[in-house]
A and B are shown apart, each in its own frame.
Chain A
């Protein structure tokens, strides 16, 4: 029988994950303002413009507005505050 060896676990210590609840959903999008957040990846602006045009053509009562954060990969509290104040929902894309 092979000799048994005790080895260390090489992984670091992960943080505790605290559950966060999602925001309440809307009944529907009729006459709502939906912010389309361009995450600034190359060509995401074009994608968001196409999505805006899709809403204009297929769900014209939805006010779909494109908005951009001030920097890539950095939270933009001012932008979020504007979305929360004026908008009913948000679609982020394209990226993380």
Chain B
């Protein structure tokens, strides 16, 4: 927004906390305004008292070490020089091929350039990439999509061949390639820069699951199947490399990080589920293959059931979620069938029950920095259901999710009637068949 104001003719200074300095400067550069005036205060601002924030204002900019207000005032009044007036235009290119080198040196280059997940990768040689491309009939130069690590960053574009390169690196086989292309085409990055350390969880449905040997049974969410592991890893690697990086401090700001970001893809156990599969719920035909991408992986609760006290347990879990990130429930078929026997003969009925029972006192709901940041402006603008939640008295118990925000997938090996409740907002869906 600072760049837009400058273009409107308004001299502007953008204030950030100091941990975002590299990111803020990289963003200004990518916007063609590398000399954008930026000033910094210490992190954090959240939870600081008015007096502490006044201390920031009257103190030093932790980056320049000069008085903060002096930086701000000079940013608005110091005359521009020639470089400021010009901005900076440039074209960045990435070559198709790297300079030939030994395998050892190339592996080192990939590590040093942050092109890996710090585990060994398969070098994407011309032969291997050519072999991967045989996994689709689509031409290598077809544009698949665009990704970026955050809404304020620029989109990078990529082709079928570029996706193939990353699929090779992850150790994928050509028969997995349509699934990987569909994930790349979903428009959702698996390497978000969010400070909330969000990852993605990908669910695969339809005939492709069995054609490529994906796991929907024992250990479905663990490292026990090549297709699951390689597809999830490929999605992670392609996200970071095709969007222009996922480098801490520059293009990644997740405070705690997220294990799901290594690899998180699995198939739904459609044949063992008492309910219709996820992709059919979302409008695909049963004989179509599709991927659904959930953005989250932030919290995970777990339980068994449904036993006599299942409602109490489920309500406790639902009230303990982060209220800005709706739950994705993964039910083992034993648990799913147990719920069906209790009268939840459709997934939707259990989803509706969860939405109805995901409740918090209004004061707890609103005492969350992301709810304040994302939902409060909508509430103030009168957008429902946020406006009603804002009108509630502090101790009123309010519903925190709508049914359409909650999803259920059936997967697991039936060694136990277990379930997991994982942070996961459905952000993208794509046909796999379109990429065969």
Please, how many residues of chain A have a CB less than 8 angstroms from a CB on the other chain? 66
A41 touching B373 by the CB < 8 A rule? yes
CA distance A84 to B370 in the complex (A): 29
Q: Are A42 and B369 CB-contacts (below 8 A) given A15-B156, A24-B11, A94-B16?
A: yes
Instruction: Given A12-B94, A80-B8, check contact A91 B56 (CB 8 Å).
Output: no
Taking CB atoms and an 8 Å cut-off, the chain A residues in 1-37 that contact chain B are 2-29, 34, 37
* Residue A90 lies at the interface, judged by CB distance under 8 Å to chain B: yes
For chain A, what secondary structure do more than half of its interface residues adopt (helix, strand, loop), or is it mixed? loop
Assembly CA distance A85 to B106 (angstroms): 55
Residues of B within 8 A of A93 (CB): 14-16, 41
Q: Decide if A91 touches B50 in the complex (CB within 8 Å).
A: no
Q: Which residues of A contact B341 (CB under 8 A)?
A: none
User: Is B87 in contact with A20, judged by CB distance below 8 angstroms?
Assistant: yes
Q: Looking across the interface, which residue of chain B has its beta carbon closest to that of A96? A: B152
Contact B91 A16 (CB under 8 A): yes
Residues of A within 8 A of B374 (CB): 72
A66 at the interface (CB under 8 A from B): no
CA distance A81 to B5 in the complex (A): 9
Give the residues from 58 to 113 in chain B that come closer than 8 angstroms, CB to CB, to chain A: 58, 69, 72-73, 76-80, 84-98, 100-104, 106, 110
**Given the complex of chains A and B, what is the CA–CA distance between A41 and B58 in angstroms?**
21
How far, in whole Å, are A8 and B115 apart by their CA atoms in the complex?
Answer: 12
Out of A10, A15, A50, which one reaches B54, CB within 8 Å?
Answer: A50
B1 at the interface (CB under 8 A from A): yes
Contact partners of A72 in chain B: CB under 8 A: 373-374, 377
CB distance from B167 to the nearest CB of A (A): 10
Q: Considering only CB atoms and an 8 Å cut-off, how many residues of chain B contact the other chain?
A: 106
Contact A10 B79 (CB under 8 A): no
Whether A6 pairs with B92 at a CB distance below 8 angstroms is no
Partner among A2, A13, A54, A76 whose Cβ is within 8 Å of the Cβ of B157? A13
Known: A14-B92, A18-B89. A6 touches B1 (CB 8 A): no
Complex CA gap A39/B54 in Å reads 18
Measured in the bound complex, the distance between the Cα atoms of B15 and A9 in whole Å is 36
Tell me the complex Cα distance, A3–B85, Å.
50
The reply to whether A12 and B147 form a contact with Cβ atoms under 8 Å apart is yes
Considering the chains assembled together, what is the distance between the CA atoms of A73 and B194 in angstroms?
12
A26 in contact with B23 given A7-B124, A10-B165, A69-B1 (CB within 8 Å): no
Closest Cβ neighbor of A69 among chain B residues: B1
Interface centre among B5, B29, B110, B369 (most CB of A within 10 A): B5
Give bound CA distance, A64 to B46, whole Å: 23
CA–CA, A96 to B17, complex, Å? 9
Inter-chain contact A2/B103, CB cutoff 8 Å: yes
Q: A20-B6, A91-B72 are in contact. Are A5 and B89 (CB under 8 A)?
A: no
Cβ B50 vs Cβ A54 within 8 A: no
Question: Does B152 contact A73, Cβ atoms closer than 8 Å?
Answer: yes
Q: Is the CB of B156 within 8 A of A47?
A: no
Task: Specify which chain B residues have a CB less than 8 angstroms from the CB of A22 in the assembled complex.
Answer: 6, 11, 33, 35-37, 80, 84-85, 87
Whether, in the assembled complex, B57 has its beta carbon less than 8 Å from a beta carbon of chain A, the answer is: yes
Determine, out of B219-227, B240-248, B279-287, the stretch whose residues face the partner at the interface: B240-248
* Chain A interfacial positions (CB closer than 8 Å to B): 2-29, 34, 37, 39-44, 46-47, 49-51, 53-54, 58, 68-73, 75-76, 80-81, 83-84, 87-96
Chain B residues within 8 Å of A, Cβ to Cβ: 1-17, 20, 23-24, 27, 29-33, 35-37, 41, 45-48, 50, 53-54, 56-58, 69, 72-73, 76-80, 84-98, 100-104, 106, 110, 115, 123-126, 129, 147, 150-152, 154-159, 161-162, 165-166, 168-169, 237, 241-244, 369-370, 372-374, 376-378, 381
